[in-house]
């Protein structure tokens, strides 16, 4: 009785979604780790490097100087100016401060954008595999997520004809995430242009480009973003980024976006009635992150690239696995289709990727996340934002697990 009463108090929108990190993969639970338990939810989808010293010092200085009061709701002018410089310098994009919004992580900025724009019946196209928060945020905001499944053969990239087929008169947004969580796939300029060519024909569709992994690209890959590749889409593109990944600042919680002034204003109004400004201290540290030395980024990328190469090579030597080599982020997304129908040491016949990850955890103590949770299987995701020795051992165990399947 009590349970019924309690659940009837919970709004329908929050019952449509699930929590991160418990039964569903969070940003962090996809790492190959051991020992581990099923419910482990370490926040490890984040660089294992510490926040650079100069950025830490800027945070400490802000505290010492008493910059510890409320600030403008969506960002101090100094940070907005640093963000404008970043967009100009790195993406060739011009934004005024009134076109920029700063929030408590990219996550809050995304959420604000959906709440500010979605009405019941509005559709949001999300290429799969996708970051699990996208569909849930869309649902929370009252919209309808529309997944477009990519394939291993296309290296998880959506084709223009797939996008054209998915667009309807009700489509409000396309979420574009390159490099991607969970696959690491990144679109070349030509691949992106083919998509923007489709979007030009559909003025009702806005583009939310989640560029959070912009700096984590390897092998000379050239990062590009939709508003840069197709200036005609500038007026209907929200370009999202943040300091979490490239600057190793996940806990500082600063994300930002730039786009049309009217949208940015509506997002600020929503933020003003929920959290108000993001931490003043983190904002000052982020000014230093964006304006200060950037030389640690290529150094970190050298390590990430070595780990990616190691993991891809070791997984491709495992029986029944096929692991594409992605261009960016810190994830790989191997197919385990070749193991389906085989028997694990426990005697269980593997029928799904969930069986695969459960049996792998049970027999080898290695935790990975099943691909179906991200909208495309049979596959799994491994994050290589963890110590190289740990990764190597995890891959050895995966090889042994696959080798023992009968
Ligand atoms: C694809 C993607 N977008 C956005 C975010 C949000 O990052 P934050 O809220 O730390 O800025 C994440 C975090 O894992 C992510 O993977």
The predicted pLDDT at position 339 comes to 98
pLDDT at 302 exceeding the cut of 50: yes
Q: Is residue 115 part of a domain?
A: yes
Say which range, 73-77, 276-280, 389-393, has the weakest mean pLDDT: 389-393
- Is the distance from the beta carbon of residue 104 to the nearest atom of ligand 1 less than 6 Å? no
Cis peptide leading into residue 70 (ω within 30°): no
Specify whether 249 is located in the same domain as 275: yes
Task: Look up residue 256 and give its DSSP letter.
Answer: E
Taking a C-beta distance cutoff of 8 angstroms, is the pair 114, 322 a contact? no
Give CA torsion, residues 313, 319, 322, 328, to 10 deg. -30
Q: Is residue 60 part of a domain?
A: no
Full-model pTM: 0.93
Tell me which residue range forms the domain holding 193: 70-291
- Is the distance from the beta carbon of residue 45 to the nearest atom of ligand 1 less than 6 Å? yes
- Is the distance from the beta carbon of residue 210 to the nearest atom of ligand 1 less than 6 Å? yes
Which residue is closest in CA terms to ligand 1's atom 7? Answer: 106
Span from the CA of 314 to the centroid of ligand 1 (angstroms) = 27
Q: Of 296, 173, 280, 293, which Cα lies nearest the Cα of 245?
A: 296
Q: Of 151, 92, 131, which Cα lies nearest the Cα of 331?
A: 131
Range from 8-12, 32-36, 152-156 that averages highest in pLDDT:
152-156
Is beta strand 331-332 parallel, antiparallel or unpaired with respect to 255-258? unpaired
Specify whether 112 is located in the same domain as 198: yes
Specify whether 121 is located in the same domain as 266: yes
What is the pLDDT confidence band of residue 11, given thresholds at 50, 70 and 90?
Answer: confident
Q: Is 337 left (phi over 0), alpha (psi -120 to 50) or beta?
A: alpha
Q: Which of 231, 261, 291 is the last residue of a domain?
A: 291
Q: Of 183, 153, 147, which Cα lies nearest the Cα of 166?
A: 147
- Element at 382 (helix H, strand E): strand 380-383
Q: Is residue 152 part of a domain?
A: yes
- Is the distance from the beta carbon of residue 27 to the nearest atom of ligand 1 less than 6 Å? yes
The predicted pLDDT at position 42 comes to 26
Number of domains composing the chain: 2
Q: Around Cβ 117, how many Cβ atoms within 10 Å?
A: 19
Task: Look up residue 235 and give its DSSP letter.
Answer: G
Say which range, 20-29, 41-50, 146-155, 286-295, has the weakest mean pLDDT: 20-29
The predicted pLDDT at position 32 comes to 45
Specify whether 172 is located in the same domain as 285: yes
The predicted pLDDT at position 150 comes to 98
pLDDT at 27 exceeding the cut of 70: no
Q: Is residue 199 part of a domain?
A: yes
pLDDT at 5 exceeding the cut of 80: no
Task: Look up residue 265 and give its DSSP letter.
Answer: H
At 231, list the tokens.
Answer: 């200036």
Ligand 1 atom closest to 104 (CA):
9
- Is the distance from the beta carbon of residue 184 to the nearest atom of ligand 1 less than 6 Å? no
Q: Which of 276, 291, 306 is the last residue of a domain?
A: 291
Q: What is the CATH number of the domain that holds 88?
A: 3.40.640.10
- What is the Cα–Cα distance from 17 to 8, expressed in whole angstroms? 16
SS3 per-residue string spanning 91-108 = HCCCCCHHHEEEECHHHH
Specify whether 226 is located in the same domain as 334: no
pLDDT at 43 exceeding the cut of 70: no
Specify whether 25 is located in the same domain as 74: no
Which residue is closest in CA terms to ligand 1's atom 16? Answer: 181
At 275, list the tokens.
Answer: 């959290």
- Is the distance from the beta carbon of residue 288 to the nearest atom of ligand 1 less than 6 Å? no
The predicted pLDDT at position 46 comes to 85
What is the pLDDT confidence band of residue 44, given thresholds at 50, 70 and 90?
Answer: low
3-state secondary structure of 28: coil
DSSP 289-352: HHHS--THHHHHHHHHHHHHHHHHHHHHTSTT-B----SBTTEE--B-GGGTT-B-TTSPBP-S
């Amino acid at each position: 009785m009590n349970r019924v009463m309690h659940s009837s108090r919970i709004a329908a929108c929050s019952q449509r979604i699930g929590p991160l990190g418990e039964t569903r993969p969070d940003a962090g639970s996809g790492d190959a780790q051991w020992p581990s338990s099923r419910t482990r939810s370490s926040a490890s989808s984040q660089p294992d490097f510490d926040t650079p010293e100069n950025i830490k010092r800027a945070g400490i200085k802000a505290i010492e100087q008493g910059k510890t009061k409320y600030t403008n709701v969506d960002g101090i002018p100094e940070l907005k100016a640093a963000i404008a410089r970043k967009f100009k310098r790195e993406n060739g994009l011009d934004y005024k401060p009134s076109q920029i919004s700063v929030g408590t992580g990219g996550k809050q900025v995304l959420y604000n954008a959906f709440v500010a724009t979605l009405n019941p019946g509005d559709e949001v196209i999300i290429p799969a595999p996708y970051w699990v928060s996208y569909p849930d945020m869309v649902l929370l905001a009252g919209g309808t997520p529309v997944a477009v499944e990519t394939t291993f053969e296309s290296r998880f990239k959506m084709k223009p004809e797939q996008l054209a087929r998915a667009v309807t008169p009700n489509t409000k947004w396309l979420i574009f995430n390159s490099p991607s969580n969970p696959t690491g796939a990144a679109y070349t300029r030509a691949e992106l242009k083919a998509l923007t060519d489709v979007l030009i024909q559909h003025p009702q569709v806005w583009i939310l480009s989640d560029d959070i992994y912009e700096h984590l690209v390897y092998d000379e890959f050239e990062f590009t973003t939709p508003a840069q590749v197709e200036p005609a889409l500038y007026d209907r593109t929200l370009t999202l980024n943040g300091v979490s990944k490239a600057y190793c600042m996940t806990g500082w919680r600063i994300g930002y976006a730039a786009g049309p002034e009217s949208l940015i204003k509506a997002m600020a109004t929503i933020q003003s009635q929920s959290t108000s400004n993001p931490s003043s201290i983190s904002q000052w540290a982020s000014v230093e992150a964006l304006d200060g030395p950037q030389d640690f980024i290529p150094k970190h990328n050298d390590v990430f690239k070595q780990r990616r190469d190691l993991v891809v090579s070791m997984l491709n030597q495992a029986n029944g696995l096929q692991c594409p080599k992605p261009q960016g982020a810190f994830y790989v997304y191997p197919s385990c289709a070749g193991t389906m129908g085989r028997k694990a040491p426990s005697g269980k016949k593997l029928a799904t990727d969930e069986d695969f990850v459960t049996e792998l955890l049970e027999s080898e103590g290695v935790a990975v996340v099943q691909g179906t949770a991200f909208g495309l299987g049979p596959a799994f995701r491994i994050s290589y934002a963890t110590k190289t020795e740990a990764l190597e051992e995890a891959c050895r165990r995966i090889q042994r697990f696959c080798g023992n399947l009968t």
